[in-house]
Structure 1
Amino acid sequence: MTAQPFTQSLSFSRGQSPMTLADIYQDEINIAIWERSLHPELVRAVSTILTSTSTLNLACTVSVSNCVDTLTKELGGDAPAHRLARDIGNLVDMYCCLFDLDVVALRLTKLDRAMCPKFHVDHVPARLVTTYQGVGSEWLENWAVDRRRLGRASAGIPDDQSGLYGQHHDIQKLVAGDVALLKGERWIGNEGRGIVHRSPAVADGEPRLLLTFDFTESDEAS
């Protein structure tokens, strides 16, 4: 399929209710964003976890029934670990319910630099992304993207010089607490139209805590 530049057929949805995430099933929606505020107790728990560990790169497959216990143990077994694990458990429940899944491929990572600094698309059906602390992910509305400049087609030229997008103010940003569903290339009927996004630059001394969910390989194949 040949990528088309600056098409306007895709859009986004955002709102302060978790029900907004269900909008990802609409054909024209490429990213659905639940704008939520983190509870102060959760914010303190996350801060405690990040200051107590130099590295955190947790990748595991969890179900609704075992998520909280698994993550509490992996994060140290104390009260802050349990508080964060309970919040993640709620998100796992929502993700599994929304997509009729039994398990979720989960990754929880402390970042002190941009993990994927160039704009790209994900070759997945639908990825959940949320940042518990630090700057949020960046994305582009479909009308602002020339997909012919993605990946190798940019010939190594930085995104802000390659013509991938027009102006810096075209870049949209999530904030800490936002829960976003990003429709990828493997969503049925979305080939060549996955949401274009990237990791943000991370300032010194201001690490991110990033959580992502994906389908497992068996779910993608079914």
Structure 2
Amino acid sequence: MLQVMKTSAELTMPIAESPSVLSEIYRDEHNIAVWERDLPNKLIHSIKHMLIYESNLALVQTVTPSNVDDWIMHKLSNYECAEPLAKDIALIVDMFCCLFDLGAAGLRLTSINEPMCPKFHVDHIPCRLVSTYTGTATEWHGNDGLDRSKLGAGSLGKPDHLSGLYSEQSAINRLSTGDVALLKGSGWEGNESRGLVHRSPQNLNQEPRLLLTLDMV
């Protein structure tokens, strides 16, 4: 059974229902920060309806806070979710660019029907934003009880639960659908050996995911 993040009392990491919590990613001791939120049911249902017809959706673009709204509206113009989804993503892009003093961000909005990165790994970038609009969300493991030598080739081809990477299944954490999270990678200055260890969810419950990621450009 996977542990689900709910309160900061349960885990020593920043999680809150206010987007201001994302600024905590700048603290050296934090390699993840989570804005916990619930999406409107109407938006979730309209996205699920869209994915019936867009099972291979893959929108990739360098966007700015001023143009992302219109770009997504254009790409998804045939669907009811286009306007509310575009406005929500525009808000997140604006926050991301403001937080890191960026003029633009690399956006990916993809429908995923099977684990995209099924094994635990570290991103060799400064920081990535992830948010799952529908379906099961990203899994991650804290630094405690983790043998990083078992990542990648160190696993000797074994699955995560047999490689010796971690000892307790209960130590695996999962974001919730709707959460907006910043994942600090090994490319962040001073975090070269502490990038957040994470993976795609293992159990998709036969439900496609709609995943948003933002990268620095």
In structure 1, how many angstroms separate the alpha carbons of the residues matched to 2:179 and 2:82? 20
Residue 201 of structure 1 deviates from its aligned partner by 2.2
> What is the aligned partner in structure 2 of residue 74 from structure 1?
75
Q: For 2:43, give the aligned amino acid.
A: L
Alignment check: 8 A CA contact 1:45 1:83 kept: no
Report whether the alignment pairs 1:145 with 2:146.
yes
Residue 167 of structure 1 deviates from its aligned partner by 1.2
Alignment check: 8 A CA contact 2:50 2:79 kept: no
Q: For 2:120, give the aligned amino acid.
A: F
Q: For 1:16, give the aligned amino acid.
A: E
Report whether the alignment pairs 1:162 with 2:158.
no
How big is the alpha-carbon RMSD for the aligned residues of Structure 1 and Structure 2?
A: 1.3
Partner-residue secondary structure (3-state), 1:70: helix
In structure 2, how many angstroms separate the alpha carbons of the residues matched to 1:203 and 1:184? 25
| Deviations 1:102-160, CA, capped at 9 Å, x for gaps | 00000011011000000000011110000000001000011121111111111111110
Partner-residue secondary structure (3-state), 2:166: coil
Residue 12 of structure 1 deviates from its aligned partner by 2.3
> What is the aligned partner in structure 1 of residue 30 from structure 2?
29
Partner-residue secondary structure (3-state), 2:13: strand
In structure 2, how many angstroms separate the alpha carbons of the residues matched to 1:207 and 1:54? 8
> What is the aligned partner in structure 2 of residue 46 from structure 1?
47
In structure 1, how many angstroms separate the alpha carbons of the residues matched to 2:205 and 2:188? 36
Residue 41 of structure 1 deviates from its aligned partner by 2.8
Partner-residue secondary structure (3-state), 1:214: strand
Residue 42 of structure 1 deviates from its aligned partner by 1.9
Residue 45 of structure 1 deviates from its aligned partner by 2.6
Partner-residue secondary structure (3-state), 1:144: coil
> What is the aligned partner in structure 2 of residue 117 from structure 1?
118
Structure 1: which 5+ runs fail to align?
Answer: 1-10, 217-222
Q: For 1:25, give the aligned amino acid.
A: Y
Residue 78 of structure 1 deviates from its aligned partner by 4.3
Q: For 2:174, give the aligned amino acid.
A: K
| Deviations 1:37-75, CA, capped at 9 Å, x for gaps | 102232233122212323101111100010000011112
In structure 2, how many angstroms separate the alpha carbons of the residues matched to 1:76 and 1:52? 13
In structure 2, how many angstroms separate the alpha carbons of the residues matched to 1:80 and 1:42? 6
Residue 202 of structure 1 deviates from its aligned partner by 4.2
Q: Under a length normalisation based on structure 2, what TM-score does the superposition of the two structures give? A: 0.91
Instruction: Give runs of aligned pairs for residues 167-186 of structure 1, distance below 5 A.
Output: 167-186=168-187
Alignment check: 8 A CA contact 1:125 1:185 kept: yes
> What is the aligned partner in structure 2 of residue 197 from structure 1?
198
> What is the aligned partner in structure 2 of residue 131 from structure 1?
132
Alignment check: 8 A CA contact 1:106 1:214 kept: yes
Q: Under a length normalisation based on structure 1, what TM-score does the superposition of the two structures give? A: 0.89
Alignment check: 8 A CA contact 2:128 2:183 kept: yes
> What is the aligned partner in structure 1 of residue 208 from structure 2?
207
In structure 2, how many angstroms separate the alpha carbons of the residues matched to 1:40 and 1:147? 39
Residue 165 of structure 1 deviates from its aligned partner by 0.5
Alignment check: 8 A CA contact 1:112 1:204 kept: no
Structure 2: which 5+ runs fail to align?
Answer: 1-11
Identical counterparts, % of pairs: 50
